[in-house]
Structure 1
């Protein structure tokens, strides 16, 4: 990939912005943005909106609908979620890219993991890798790309950014916005952290979250024990049957994560909720898994009723031809900045699964290098900020140049 002098100059400019990027990351990571911390997420959105505003033609904060959740008592209640920032530049350009990452983290407002700690090249803190580091990478890469567009007058690649606040719970409120704003894109870049080795993620499994609400009959544990129908015991049986599904299909996992239920020792419990997650490698398995879940619910013991809630929220992301082509492009651009990028399969899911299901090939680990995400040991490597921003910048440049060269061939 032979670079114009303008692109080379911008790459050097990015290399000199490391300290500025670190400062931006520290400021954003200092704000708690657990998915249900609405004030924290609103504060974060205002700061991010101010940072992206200068490079967007339009940037809006889009509210999402209330989402229904199952309480520990088996009841359904509405839950508010924070909104989504949607920004666009050149929406009428010949080709379009969608870039996305989430602003929320897994650490609630009362989490004890709130303090940032710098240890040489390593920054420890909530969300520094997943995914505020990626948000910084995206911002600086887009700034650089807009400088390139201005310098070369090559405005044939437009872009949309989708910055949501509920990815860590499956993008329950924002998933429809990917269809609304991202489905028409030619390709996508998402800024989840890359693997600790620096490598990318290729194929991803699908995922579903479910609850089975179990209702029995309360009774005095001493006087009328046999009149009761124990919902917790029924929940234990359900958990066992769910766990047995792990032996049915290679690569599929069913994780029973939590059982709510029970109370005083002298009362037969009448309500329990079994919460579980399913990961699966192929979309065709959804129908078979659904039938097994329905069978478990239908075969309840006498005096016990069960209701299944939830569903599959992120389909598998296979290595399609278009996806492989984009991975190869990113890999080529990585070599330009000294990154030898391979890709690996994973059971993790992200919004890249949702874009892939819409037919948009995307690389979803363009973010920073780090590890121990979703734990109090989360960290990222500060020296990964600049190379990952350069990687994204070069990928956008490569795509813009491909469009211009195609147009020139048509004219010839």
Structure 2
């Protein structure tokens, strides 16, 4: 789930390299990534041409098979974790056994896209260095970077000793429920890993590439208020009180006034009130009916809460519940939170890992990558492992227009990101655990 990035060709160009400090193996990686540009573009096109909207279970499975072919050729043991019990296709999990002595690295991506088979946005085309198509950046460009990095390591001889796990989920854009089932394999992989790298799109600022060491979580909430129905002439009185709609308005406006703080948002996505009112079974559509002279019996609203740390999320949820509990006369209200994406907090370990990546950048003659503002990114699967392993997100290619018609990716950034990953992973794999 990346948010659109507005880039220009000038921002995507790397600076002229200073004298790089690379080992012979790392120099071979650079040569390999440069030589593999045609292969990378062809793989990206094949992936994009296969629709894999989250609810297109056969399509997601087919993209998984394409990735199985690539990973098996690199010596990975690959298995498919079937997730039809959650209403989703499944996940691809690939494991490469090295010498067992170096840091264990988890690479995370996803097979699905937001574009279902009925989307008007189809096909794959190139416009100079841009590739355009559904899911080209989110996350099929990221899948391409993963393969390109691993192929560079294989060409340089560093893959054979590396302990690597690749987890490609099939429902990142619309997770299967319950999360305890749909994310069990990913959480287990996070417990196995020392370091996790997530391959959604690269963050780019006017100053250049940036590193994602934090992402806010995303938790859905549902609010229901109740009132005593009756003739509107009695509203605000001792018998009828204020009704469900005024109670809903009170709560939401108090959220607006009392909750603001840094790195926190709490959106109201849909609401309805009347006599009666409620949500359709899937929870995405609300209905209500009533008359102007009837005090509302029920009102409902749904939204999401995004916080930077688990502590912030817990504290704000408690504050929201306290606001809900201050009922207007003759009204009631309940607020419930669903399982969601946990926050990926900006930990010292994540910062140290970005420092390691910036050492790679300096050795490549690239500028250091500053920390990217977490409020500008959406939630992602990396959040499920961040409590267990040092984590960096945004290791995929640069691009823009994610989740919208015209989504695009900068093709040269695939090689730049693959080389960064290949060197970083090779260095980590050479370190004692």
**Above 0.5 in TM-score?**
yes
Query: Of the candidates 86, 90, 97, which is equivalent to residue 83 of structure 1?
Result: 90
2:302: which partner in 1?
275
Q: What do the CA deviations read for 1:278-303 (whole angstroms, capped 9, x no partner)?
A: 22233322332121232244345535
2-structure distance, mates of 1:270, 1:64: 40
Q: Is the 8 A contact 2:213 2:350 kept in 1?
A: no
2:282: which partner in 1?
none
Secondary structure, aligned partner of 2:88: coil
Specify every segment of 5 or more residues in structure 2 that has no aligned partner in the other structure, as ranges. 1-19, 272-284
Over 3 Å counting, the alpha-carbon distance change for 1:224 and 1:191 in structure 2 is same
Over 3 Å counting, the alpha-carbon distance change for 1:40 and 1:379 in structure 2 is same
- By how many angstroms is 1:217 displaced? 7.4
Over 3 Å counting, the alpha-carbon distance change for 1:375 and 1:231 in structure 2 is farther
Secondary structure, aligned partner of 1:162: strand
Query: Of the candidates 238, 257, 268, which is equivalent to residue 244 of structure 1?
Result: 257
- By how many angstroms is 1:158 displaced? 0.6
1:286 aligns with 2:313: yes
Over 3 Å counting, the alpha-carbon distance change for 1:91 and 1:156 in structure 2 is closer
Q: Is the 8 A contact 1:239 1:274 kept in 2?
A: no
Q: Is the 8 A contact 1:220 1:266 kept in 2?
A: no
Specify every segment of 5 or more residues in structure 1 that has no aligned partner in the other structure, as ranges. 68-79, 407-412
Of the two structures, which has the highest relative contact order with CA contacts closer than 8 Å and spacing of 6 or more? 2
Secondary structure, aligned partner of 1:81: coil
Q: Is the 8 A contact 2:221 2:305 kept in 1?
A: no
1:333: which partner in 2?
360
Query: Of the candidates 417, 421, 425, which is equivalent to residue 388 of structure 1?
Result: 417
2:141: which partner in 1?
133
Structure (1 or 2) with the greater strand fraction:
1
- By how many angstroms is 1:341 displaced? 3.6
Q: What do the CA deviations read for 1:153-172 (whole angstroms, capped 9, x no partner)?
A: x8443110110122234683
Secondary structure, aligned partner of 1:375: coil
2:342: which partner in 1?
314
Secondary structure, aligned partner of 1:35: coil
Over 3 Å counting, the alpha-carbon distance change for 1:196 and 1:125 in structure 2 is farther
In the comparison of the two structures, how many residue pairs are matched?
386
Over 3 Å counting, the alpha-carbon distance change for 1:286 and 1:217 in structure 2 is closer
1:206 aligns with 2:216: yes
Q: What do the CA deviations read for 1:141-192 (whole angstroms, capped 9, x no partner)?
A: 112223333xx6x844311011012223468354322221221212122111
Secondary structure, aligned partner of 1:183: helix
2-structure distance, mates of 1:303, 1:66: 39
1:261: which partner in 2?
286
1:32: which partner in 2?
51
Secondary structure, aligned partner of 1:330: helix
2-structure distance, mates of 1:87, 1:195: 26
Q: Is the 8 A contact 1:93 1:155 kept in 2?
A: no
Q: What do the CA deviations read for 1:233-258 (whole angstroms, capped 9, x no partner)?
A: 654444333333443x3332212222
1-structure distance, mates of 2:132, 2:418: 20
Name the stretch that deviates more: 347-356 or 209-218.
209-218
What is the correspondence of 1:83-232 to structure 2 with a 5 Å cutoff?
83-90=90-97, 93-95=100-102, 96-149=104-157, 155-169=160-174, 172=179, 173-197=181-205, 199-214=209-224, 216=226
2-structure distance, mates of 1:271, 1:66: 34
1:72: which partner in 2?
none
Secondary structure, aligned partner of 1:199: strand
The root-mean-square deviation of aligned C-alpha atoms, in Å, is 3.3
2-structure distance, mates of 1:66, 1:231: 37
Secondary structure, aligned partner of 1:207: coil
- By how many angstroms is 1:53 displaced? 1.9
1-structure distance, mates of 2:222, 2:116: 25
Over 3 Å counting, the alpha-carbon distance change for 1:272 and 1:380 in structure 2 is farther
Secondary structure, aligned partner of 2:423: helix
Q: Is the 8 A contact 1:333 1:391 kept in 2?
A: yes
